[in-house]
Amino acid sequence: MIVKSMIDLIGNTPLIELKIKNCKWKVYLKLEKFNPGQSMKDRMALNMIRQAEKKGVLIPGGTIIESSSGNTATGLALISAIKGYHFIAVVDHHASIDKIKIIKAYGGEIITVGNNKRPDEVAVVERENIALELSKKIPNSFVPRQHENLDNRGAYIDTLAKELVDELGEIDELYGAIGTGGSICGTALGLKKYGIKTKINAIEPDGSIIFGGKGGPYYQSGTGNPPDADIPSIIDYNLIDKNFYATDKEAFNTCRFLAKSLGILIGGSAGGVIFKALEDIIKKKGKGIAVILTCDGGEKYLDKIFDDDWMSANNLIDTSIEKNLTKWLEV
């Protein structure tokens, strides 16, 4: 395939089948790491920019400013480089070093906040406030505000959802992470649009408060919602059939197991989604088709999730996770 721009490579990511022991269900991972920015957030970044251009709120030579844990910022930095925009990412104090380096490689500027937070706390509110303050000072600037931007979830309706319909036809269960709600709600809307009756399962970190609870700290990045932040307005709870909570141990040890056992290198939130999905699927009877959305690749987390010293220092290694996965999966 010959393309004219890296933008043309966004979407049409592959599926890989997971073989489940003693189970008649077909289970597929949608590998969003194969987008050029290595995550599904490329889809959202592209749609928010295109729609802002159409509305005239983003003009040639302007500046894009966004609060992000890293993946949205990577997508925005990549597209900004192609389209000639200046990009500023406001990131957490614990943002992956690899993500920051990638954003800078695309010419993005980094502003780090949350230095008064614990390593396992997320500075969403501070990030968003700083982004808005900067936009008031910088002429011709645009803040996408992904958590309340309907063009976020709109990015998945005719792309990711349509790809799944074209590739699989019927889909009985869909599992995905929830943070802003863009990918899971947008994909759900797309499946409904194409007449596919699918049960939608949302997975957030244990400690996130999207589906209630007092909340608490967690290390998983780019997913969930901390107790001090408002629930993203683009989340439509009517689209979600069931929700699950994944602990950091479940998420990260699943990532490590899949890399060593199947050569599948994925990010932390994807590990949590896969673990909770498998835990749910192995209880099901009969036949069915399940899709698990894996947001990004593990290449951006080598200094944390895949680093033995970091995992040990933060008391995150749990051999019981590997034992469960060994019982469930054919490896």
What DSSP string runs through 227-266? Answer: TTSPPPTT--GGG-SEEEEE-HHHHHHHHHHHHHHH---B
- Residue that the structure tokens 């996130």 belong to: 208
Residue 308 confidence class, pLDDT cut points 50, 70, 90: very high
Contact 306, 256 (CB under 8 A): yes
E-state strands within the chain:
15-18, 26-31, 63-67, 86-92, 109-113, 141-142, 173-177, 199-205, 242-246, 289-294
d(CA 317, CA 173): 30
> So what's the pLDDT on residue 159?
98
Residue 101 has pLDDT above 80, yes or no: yes
Least confident of 137-151, 172-186, 218-232: 218-232
Specify the higher pLDDT residue, 227 or 15.
15
For β-strands 173-177 and 289-294, DSSP reports them as parallel
> So what's the pLDDT on residue 4?
97
In a shared domain, residues 214 and 124 = no
The residue range of the domain holding 99 is 41-148
Domain edge (last residue) among 122, 148, 174: 148
In a shared domain, residues 135 and 201 = no
* Tens-place pLDDT, residues 103-129: 999 999 999 998 777 877 777 888 999
Residue 291 confidence class, pLDDT cut points 50, 70, 90: very high
C-alpha distances (whole Å) from 169 to each of 61, 192, 200, 217 are 42, 13, 16, 39
d(CA 213, CA 227): 9
Q: Which residues, 6 or more positions from 142, have their beta carbon under 8 angstroms from its beta carbon?
A: 52, 57, 58, 62, 63, 64, 65, 135
Residue 99: inside a domain, yes or no? yes
> So what's the pLDDT on residue 122?
72
Residue 1: inside a domain, yes or no? no
Residue 331 confidence class, pLDDT cut points 50, 70, 90: very high
In a shared domain, residues 163 and 310 = yes
* Tens-place pLDDT, residues 67-79: 988 899 999 999 9
Residue 320 confidence class, pLDDT cut points 50, 70, 90: very high
Q: Report the CATH number at residue 58.
A: 3.40.50.1100
Residue 316 has pLDDT above 80, yes or no: yes
Classify 292 as helix, strand or coil.
strand
pTM of the model: 0.95
In a shared domain, residues 132 and 188 = no
In a shared domain, residues 187 and 240 = yes
Least confident of 110-114, 162-166, 246-250: 110-114
Residue 228 has pLDDT above 90, yes or no: no
In a shared domain, residues 208 and 315 = yes
Residue 96 confidence class, pLDDT cut points 50, 70, 90: confident
In a shared domain, residues 163 and 79 = no
Residue-averaged pLDDT of the chain? 95
In a shared domain, residues 118 and 209 = no
> So what's the pLDDT on residue 125?
85
CA angle 39, 43, 46 (to 5 degrees): 120
In a shared domain, residues 93 and 118 = yes
> So what's the pLDDT on residue 31?
98
* Tens-place pLDDT, residues 13-69: 999 999 999 999 999 999 999 999 999 999 999 999 999 999 999 999 999 999 988
For β-strands 242-246 and 199-205, DSSP reports them as parallel
Residue 282: inside a domain, yes or no? yes
In a shared domain, residues 268 and 140 = no
In a shared domain, residues 167 and 311 = yes
Domain edge (last residue) among 148, 169, 203: 148
CA dihedral 159, 52, 269, 113 (to 10 degrees): 170
Residue 312: inside a domain, yes or no? yes
- Residue that the structure tokens 């003009």 belong to: 59
In a shared domain, residues 172 and 96 = no
Q: Number of structural domains, the chain? A: 2
Domain edge (last residue) among 148, 172, 197: 148
> So what's the pLDDT on residue 150?
98
Structure tokens at 41: 């957030």
Mean pLDDT of 253-263: 98
DSSP alpha helices (H): ranges in 169-318?
Answer: 182-193, 248-262, 268-281, 308-313
Residue 69: inside a domain, yes or no? yes
